Amino acid sequence: MDINSIQTQIETDLTKITSLAALEEMRVKYLGRKGLIAELTSSIPGLELQQRGIFGKQVNALKNTLLGLLAEKEKTLISKDSVLKQSNLDIGMPGIAQELGHIHPITQIIDEICTIFNRMGFSVVGGPEVETEYNNFTGLNIPLEHPSRDAFDTFYLKDYAKLLLRSHTSPVQVRVMKTQRPPLAMVVPGRVYRPDAVDASHLFMFHQIEGFLVDENIRFSDLKGILEIFSKSVFGQNIKMRFRPHFFPFTEPSVEVDISCIICKGQGCSVCGRKGWLEILGAGMIHPNVFKQVGYAPGVYTGFAFGMGVERIAMLKYGINDIRLFFENDLRFLRQF
C-alpha cells in the first residue's frame, strides 16, 4: 500500500471526527494491535532486503505524524468539550460589564482646592490624625485652661494621656514651623475629629484644609488677595466676599470669611438663613505666641493662616443639605459626582 495515500486518507478521516469517542476509534483503527500500522510493520520481513530499511523508515515516519495529528485533534476536542459542552457555557450571552469607579466627591473637592493653591505656589503637605496635645493646643496658643479648648475638645487616646485625635489641621502649622524656616506656603488637607452629636450639619469626623504662608512682610491684604482668588475659582467670578471679625487663639486679628449666597445671590433665602451670606472659612494673621512656641525670633516673620471645612464647601457648591450623605456610601448619591 502507498504510504502517501494512507497519510491523505488519515487527514480526511480526521476532519470528520467530532468527538473524543470517534477519535479513540480512529486511534485503534490505525495504531491498535491489529491496526494499519501494525499490519504494515508485520509486512516488512516479507519485503526484498533493500526495500525493508526504506519502507521501515516510511512506516515509522507515518506513525509519528499520526501520533502528532491525533494528539492535536484531542486537544481541540477537549477544549471545545469542556468549555462549551460540559459547562453549558453560552458564548452568545452578553458579558458582565466591569463597572468603573470614580473619585469620592470629598476627594474631588480636596484635589480641586489643593490645585488652586498649588498654582499660587503653595505646596501640599500632610500630617498625622493622631496628634500630641501640645501640637493640637498648647503650640497653637491654646493653653490648658483656655475656654476655647472646650469647643475643640476631642478624643483622647486611652493609656496615652498626651495623644489625641486632632480636632483641626492647624497642628500641622506647628509641625512644619518647628522643623522648617520661612518662606513657607503650604496647604494641608486631612481628617479631623470632634465629639459632636451627629446631625445634618455635624459629624464626629470631617475634612479640613489648612493653609498658611509665612515670610517677612506678609500682610493681611495678602491673605485677602489669596482668599479672593480661591473663592472665585471655586464658587464663580461673580461672588462677593466679606471678612467678619472673629476670635481664634492662634491668629490675631482673626476673621470669619463669608461669600455672597450662591443660591439667592445675596437676596436672602433658606440656605443662607435670610442673611445673603455663607460662612466658608476661618482665618487670620498668625499670632506672635505661635511663632514664639515654634522658636522663631520675635518680630522677624509675619504670616497668615486659614482653615476650611471641606464638607461644608462641597455642600455649598453642590447644594447638599445633609453632611451624612457623604459617608453613607449610598451609590445613588455618590454616582451623581
Q: Rounded to the nearest 5°, which phi and psi values hold at 242? A: -140, 150
Smallest gap from residue 305 Cβ to ligand PHE (A) = 4
Helix (H) or strand (E) holding 205: strand 205-215
Question: Quick one: which segment of 73-81, 105-113, 114-122, 279-287 binds ligand PHE (CB under 6 A)?
Answer: 279-287
Q: Does 194 bind ligand PHE (CB under 6 A)?
A: no
Q: Does 105 bind ligand PHE (CB under 6 A)?
A: no
Q: Which is nearer to ligand PHE, 140 or 239 (CB)?
A: 140
Binding string, 195-234, against ligand PHE, x = CB under 6 A? ---------------x------------------------
Question: Quick one: which segment of 15-23, 33-41, 93-101, 301-309 binds ligand PHE (CB under 6 A)?
Answer: 301-309
Nearest C-alpha neighbor of 216 from the set 186, 184, 170, 248: 184
Q: Rounded to the nearest 5°, which phi and psi values hold at 98? A: -75, 130
- Selected from 154, 251, 293, 302, the binder of ligand PHE by CB under 6 A is 251
| Subset of 117-136 contacting ligand PHE (CB under 6 A) | none
Q: Measure the CA dihedral 63/65/69/74, to 10°.
A: 50
d(CA 83, CA 5): 35
Integer angstrom CA distances of residue 150 from 4, 22, 167, 196, 259: 100, 87, 11, 12, 28
Nearest C-alpha neighbor of 250 from the set 288, 298, 200: 288
Residues with Cβ within 8 Å of 57's Cβ and at least 6 positions away in sequence, in order, are none
Q: Does 142 bind ligand PHE (CB under 6 A)?
A: no
Q: Which is nearer to ligand PHE, 250 or 296 (CB)?
A: 250
How many CB atoms are located within 10 Å of the residue 309 CB? 20
Query: How many residues of this chain bind ligand PHE (CB under 6 A)?
Result: 11
Nearest C-alpha neighbor of 206 from the set 163, 234, 251, 166: 166
Hunting for cell 433665602 — which residue is that?
Answer: 269
d(CA 260, CA 138): 35
Angle subtended by helix axes 310-318 and 105-119, to nearest 10: 100
Question: Quick one: which segment of 72-80, 107-115, 293-301, 305-313 binds ligand PHE (CB under 6 A)?
Answer: 305-313
Smallest gap from residue 166 Cβ to ligand PHE (A) = 10
Q: Which is nearer to ligand PHE, 30 or 277 (CB)?
A: 277
Smallest gap from residue 215 Cβ to ligand PHE (A) = 17
d(CA 333, CA 62): 70
d(CA 207, CA 309): 6
Q: Does 305 bind ligand PHE (CB under 6 A)?
A: yes
Smallest gap from residue 114 Cβ to ligand PHE (A) = 16
Binding string, 153-172, against ligand PHE, x = CB under 6 A? ---------------x-x--
Q: Does 283 bind ligand PHE (CB under 6 A)?
A: yes
Residue 136 · residue 167 · CB < 8 Å: yes
Q: Does 307 bind ligand PHE (CB under 6 A)?
A: yes
Q: Does 190 bind ligand PHE (CB under 6 A)?
A: no
Q: Which is nearer to ligand PHE, 160 or 247 (CB)?
A: 247
- Selected from 122, 248, 277, 301, the binder of ligand PHE by CB under 6 A is 248
> Where along the sequence are the contacts to ligand PHE (CB under 6 A)?
168, 170, 210, 248, 251, 282-284, 305-307
